Structure 1
C-alpha cells in the first residue's frame, strides 16, 4: 500500500440483506475514491457479494467459532493488526461485537452508523408515519463523516454474467423473460400467503420463465411442488452455490421478493425488483437500492392501521400475520406486467 492509499476497515457481520445493502455504497466509494483500499469484515458466506468490486477484499469473521466471545474478538483484532494499518474504521453494524473490536484494533478514526433507533421506535408505535432515512444513506453518512462524501444517485452495476453449461442446463435456453421469485422471509408476517403466491406463479408461468429461490428442507419441498405443477417453473433451492445463485440473479429480467435478502441481492446487481410488504414498511429505510417507490407493494393500512408493527417483522398484534394477503394477486401480476 502506498502512503497516499488510505485503507478503511468496514464492519458489517450480518444479516444477508444488510450486508448486500453495503455493496452499492462500496461501489460508489471505490469509483469516487479509487485511491481508497477497503477491507470488509464479515462472514465468509458473504464473500461472493463483493466479487465485482475493485480495491475491496473480505476478511472472515468467524463469530460463532474461533472469534466467539471477547477473547475470540481479541484474536480477530490481532490478526487484523498484524498485516494492516487502517486509516479509519467504518462500523456499519454498531453492535456490541463491533464496539469490543474497536477497543482492540489499532486505529484512531472510528465512525459508527446512526441506526435511527429512536425514530424507528416512533414509526413502529404509531407516533410517526413518514419516510425515514434509507439504510444505504445511513451507510454513506458514515463515509461522509470519515471525509469521503458519496453520491449514490448515479449508480453503476456489474454486467450480467455469462451463464455456464450447468446453469444453462438447469434454466433452459429459450427466449422467455426470466422472473425470479423468492417467496420466503425470516418471519411469516413478512411473507405473502403461499396459496396466493401459487396463483401468482401459475399466471406468470404462462408467459415467463419463473425461477424460484429459497433454502432449507421445508422451503425446498414447497417450491418443488410448484415446479412439479406448472410448466416453465424451475426451483433452484438447494441446487446452487451462492456464487452460482448470483450468476442466475444477474440474468433475471425481474425479481419478485418479500422484504428480505433476495430483494437486496437483485438490487445490488442492478436488476428490477418488486417487493411485497406485510407488517413491515419501506418507511423504516429497508427498501431495495435504486428502485422506484411504487415497486413496493404494501399491505392495506385501512385494514391493518398499525403497520409497520416492527422494523424486522418479528412483532405484530393478533390478526396481523397474514397482512400481506390484503394485496391481490392481480396487483402483483399487473405490476410485473407493466414493468416488463
Structure 2
C-alpha cells in the first residue's frame, strides 16, 4: 500500500527549489511513497517531471487568504487524503494554521527545524557566532528522517526535464554552430538590496569579458524595472545580449540554463535553479553568507562564490535573507567587488 506524504512550502522560490533534491531522493529511496507538494502555482513546474509526485497549486495571495482561506485549503487537501504524515517545511503562520488543523483531525505532523536562533546569532551586528550551519537541503532531509523516512541525497543534477522544451527563437540549435562562443547567463537581481551587486558594474564587466572571449549573454529576471534595465544592456551590446526576462516560462528558463557555459548571479532563486541543474556557476554574495545554509547546493564555495571575506568585513552577514540597509552605511561587501575581479573569476572558469 502506498504511503502518502503531504509537504507544505509556499515561499520563497529558492526555498521551494531546495526541496527538489530532497523530494527526488525521497521517492527514489521509497518506491511505495507518493508525495503531494502544496506550494504557490508558479513554483509547481519544478516538480512536474518526478514520478509519484504531484503538486497542489495553492494561491495564498488571492484564493486562500487569511484564516478562512487556510480553512478552505485544509478542506480541499483533506479530500485528497488521508496522509501518513504532513510535513511543514515552512514553519510560517499559514502552515502553522494548516498543521494545527491536520493535528486536530488526527494527522501526524512533523515540522522542519528552521534554526532561527543560530541564524540570528550568525547575522547579528555584534558578537556573531559564525559557525557554518546545516544547509537547508539537509534540514529538509532531517525532517523527513524524523518522520520515519531516512535516506541519502542522490547525486546531481536534480532539475531534469522529462521532454525537450524548445522556444521559437531557436537558441539551442544556434549554439551548436557557435562552439567558440561562451553562453553566459546573468541574473543580477534579488529581493533585497544587500544581495544586489551594483547594476552599474555590468556594462564594464560585459566589456571586459568580450575583450577576452567571444560570448553571448542571456539576461534572467522578471518585472518591469528589471526588463527595462536589461533592455539598456541590450542597447549597449546589441549583438551579445539576449533578454530572457518576461519571455520564457519557468521550465523553458531551466531548459535554457542547462545549455549555458556559466551562470553569473547573486544570492537568488536563479542561483539555486542553476545549481540544481548542475551547470557551472559563479555567484556574487554581499550582505548574506553561504555558511548560513543557503549556498548553492553541492558546490564548492571557494570556487563558485565571489565574496569579501569575513576577516576583511566582520559585519558579514548582516542578515539571513537580505536587508535594505547596511550596518556600515556603504555596502562595502558589494562595492569592494570590482568588475575586474568578477571578469577574472569568469575567465578562470573557462580555462
TM-score normalised according to structure 1 size:
0.92
- Return closer, same or farther for 1:128/1:171 CA change in 2, 3 Å cut-off: farther
**Residue 113 (structure 1) aligns with:** 112
Q: Deviations over 1:31-66 (max 9, x none)?
A: 111221000000001111112211111101121222
**Residue 168 (structure 1) aligns with:** 170
Q: Deviations over 1:278-317 (max 9, x none)?
A: 1111111100111112111112435532110110111531
After TM superposition, list the pairs within 5 Å mapping 1:225-240 onto structure 2.
225-230=232-237, 231-240=239-248
Does 2:224 match 1:217? yes
Is the Cα–Cα contact under 8 Å of residues 123 and 316 in structure 2 kept in the other structure?
yes
SS at match of 2:67: helix
Is the Cα–Cα contact under 8 Å of residues 50 and 56 in structure 1 kept in the other structure?
yes
Following TM superposition, by how much is the alpha carbon of 1:155 offset from its aligned partner in structure 2, in angstroms?
3.4
Bigger shift: residues 298-307 or 205-214: 298-307
After TM superposition, list the pairs within 5 Å mapping 1:65-214 onto structure 2.
65-105=62-102, 106-125=105-124, 126-152=127-153, 154-158=155-159, 162-169=164-171, 172-173=174-175, 174-175=178-179, 176-205=181-210, 206-214=213-221
Long gaps (5+) in structure 1: none
After TM superposition, list the pairs within 5 Å mapping 1:287-302 onto structure 2.
287-294=295-302, 295-302=304-311
Following TM superposition, by how much is the alpha carbon of 1:116 offset from its aligned partner in structure 2, in angstroms?
0.8
Q: Deviations over 1:14-42 (max 9, x none)?
A: 01111111111111111111221000000
- Return closer, same or farther for 1:167/1:157 CA change in 2, 3 Å cut-off: farther
Following TM superposition, by how much is the alpha carbon of 1:102 offset from its aligned partner in structure 2, in angstroms?
1.2
**Residue 331 (structure 1) aligns with:** 341
Is the Cα–Cα contact under 8 Å of residues 299 and 325 in structure 1 kept in the other structure?
no
Following TM superposition, by how much is the alpha carbon of 1:186 offset from its aligned partner in structure 2, in angstroms?
0.8
Is the Cα–Cα contact under 8 Å of residues 188 and 321 in structure 1 kept in the other structure?
no
Is the Cα–Cα contact under 8 Å of residues 212 and 237 in structure 1 kept in the other structure?
yes
**Residue 285 (structure 2) aligns with:** 277
Following TM superposition, by how much is the alpha carbon of 1:11 offset from its aligned partner in structure 2, in angstroms?
0.7
After TM superposition, list the pairs within 5 Å mapping 1:7-26 onto structure 2.
7-26=4-23
Long gaps (5+) in structure 2: none
- Return closer, same or farther for 1:107/1:181 CA change in 2, 3 Å cut-off: farther
**Residue 27 (structure 2) aligns with:** 30
Following TM superposition, by how much is the alpha carbon of 1:195 offset from its aligned partner in structure 2, in angstroms?
2.1
RMSD: 2.0
CA distance in 2, matches of 1:139, 1:337: 35
CA distance in 2, matches of 1:75, 1:159: 33
SS at match of 1:247: helix
Is the Cα–Cα contact under 8 Å of residues 272 and 291 in structure 1 kept in the other structure?
no
Following TM superposition, by how much is the alpha carbon of 1:196 offset from its aligned partner in structure 2, in angstroms?
1.9
Q: Deviations over 1:104-150 (max 9, x none)?
A: 23453211111111111111124211211111101111111011112
SS at match of 1:166: coil
SS at match of 1:149: coil
Bigger shift: residues 163-172 or 274-283: 163-172
TM-score normalised according to structure 2 size:
0.90
CA distance in 2, matches of 1:259, 1:286: 8
